[in-house]
Amino acid sequence: MPLMCVPRLPAECPLAWHASGLLTRPPVAPLLAMSDLQEEGRHAINSPMSPASADVHPEDTLLEENEERTMIDPTSKDDPKFKELVKVLIDWINDVLVEERIIVKQLEEDLYDGQVLQKLLEKLADCKLNVAEVTQSKIGQKQKLQTVLEAVHGLLRPHGWALQWTVDSIHGKNLVAILHLLVALAMHFRAPIRLPEHVSVQVVVVRKREGLLHSSHVTEELTTTTEMMMGRFERDAFDMLFDHAPDKLSVVKKSLITFVNKHLNKLNLEVTELETQFADGVYLVLLMGLLEDYFVPLHNFYLTPDSFDQKVHNVAFAFELMLDGGLKTPKARPEDVVNLDLKSTLRVLYNLFTKYKNLE
């Protein structure tokens, strides 16, 4: 669904067409300069019971009375896992919106007005939202955000997601709120990405009371484990093996290797590493053909996949063959197997083992 082109956009319009044909956003002055906010936060941390200046009245400072602002502690922004999370999400958005010719470079600056979020949700949910394409005013931007977030909430709330964002926090360029929203969307729509697990940030909360700045630090958990975020809270035997019985886990792996090689050897193939050799889906597809005694046409999968998407296609196709063979839907996602998640691969193979273990 391409963006509507217009001959010329006003100079003050928040979106403009670059000469290259890409939709870009010109620099926009933030509602509150981050450097100023950081200065207030730093001052509040160093002397929380003292006013910013003895000669400055509350109405002359950047924060209104009882107003609260949050910012990520600079040390958290330097954390490699935090940087990885931001990069993975930006790359994912740009991949989803590649046909829209939209390029996101900075989450808080590019998503706050609802324009990119609208396009992202429409693409992911295959829907069309009844909102203005381009909005310049603050009121118009918030109205668009309200519509977009209501649609998001309608999708996520039934699945028990905690809604850790609001129209004001997104429009206020609160990076923590934006990240919470994007992580939820990525998990809900089973994005073909692997988010770093257990990412937390220290957030500085600054509030003005009676003319004085007060601050506190809170820890915000942005990601847990993939399974927890996917809502798969039930634990199974593999959770117990990984957590409490690594010695027994090695026995299970050897049994599964013996099982798959018993059949793959018929094609002169052999497996020694479960987590890596099934990651591209080729062996899974071939194994299903052997177990169900049919030839899988080579045009149905990639025999030598060279991209992440091709590998995901192969694993997903193998899952379809499993369903056709009367097996239950695998608990793992194709992306988990491709991303070398051993527990997910073991679950898939054990599912096959329980049905075909006596097959010669």
How far is the C-alpha of 334 from the C-alpha of 191, rounded, in Å? 11
Which candidate, 312, 84, 92, places its Cα nearest to that of 196?
A: 84
The string of pLDDT tens digits covering residues 294-323 is 999 999 999 999 998 899 999 999 999 998
Determine the pLDDT at residue 1: 45
Give bridge partners of residue 215 from the DSSP assignment.
206
How far is the C-alpha of 41 from the C-alpha of 205, rounded, in Å? 8
Which candidate, 29, 200, 19, places its Cα nearest to that of 109?
A: 29
Joined tokens for residue 54: 């003895």
Give bridge partners of residue 164 from the DSSP assignment.
none
How far is the C-alpha of 345 from the C-alpha of 199, rounded, in Å? 24
CB atoms under 10 Å from CB of 136, counted, come to 15
Give the ranges where 67-201 is alpha helix by DSSP (H). 74-77, 80-96, 107-111, 115-125, 138-156, 167-171, 175-188
Can you tell me the mean pLDDT for 92-105?
92
Angle value at C-alpha 340, between 337 and 345, nearest 5 degrees: 45
Determine the pLDDT at residue 110: 94
How far is the C-alpha of 72 from the C-alpha of 86, rounded, in Å? 13
Determine the pLDDT at residue 42: 47
Select the more confidently predicted residue: 246 or 357: 357
pLDDT class for 259, splitting at 50, 70, 90?
very high
The string of pLDDT tens digits covering residues 319-348 is 999 988 888 777 778 888 898 888 888 888
Determine the pLDDT at residue 241: 58
By mean pLDDT, which of 11-25, 118-132, 229-243, 346-360 is the weakest? Answer: 11-25
CB of 281 within 8 A of CB of 301? yes
CB atoms under 10 Å from CB of 311, counted, come to 22
Joined tokens for residue 3: 């963006």
Residue-by-residue DSSP string for 270-312: --S-HHHHTTTSHHHHHHHHHHHT-PPPGGGS-SS--SHHHHH
How far is the C-alpha of 215 from the C-alpha of 69, rounded, in Å? 10
Determine the pLDDT at residue 304: 93
Joined tokens for residue 355: 């049905």
Only one residue has tokens 């089973």, namely: 190
Is 50 exceeded by the pLDDT of residue 65? yes
The rounded Cα 204 to chain-centroid distance in angstroms is 24
The predicted model scores a pTM of 0.56
Amino acid residing at 269 = L
Q: Write down the mean pLDDT value for the chain.
A: 79
SS3 label, residue 333: coil
pLDDT class for 232, splitting at 50, 70, 90?
very low
Is 60 exceeded by the pLDDT of residue 35? no
Select the more confidently predicted residue: 55 or 174: 174
CB of 144 within 8 A of CB of 119? no
pLDDT class for 152, splitting at 50, 70, 90?
very high
CB atoms under 10 Å from CB of 295, counted, come to 8
Query: Which 8-state DSSP code applies to residue 64?
Result: P
Determine the pLDDT at residue 39: 52
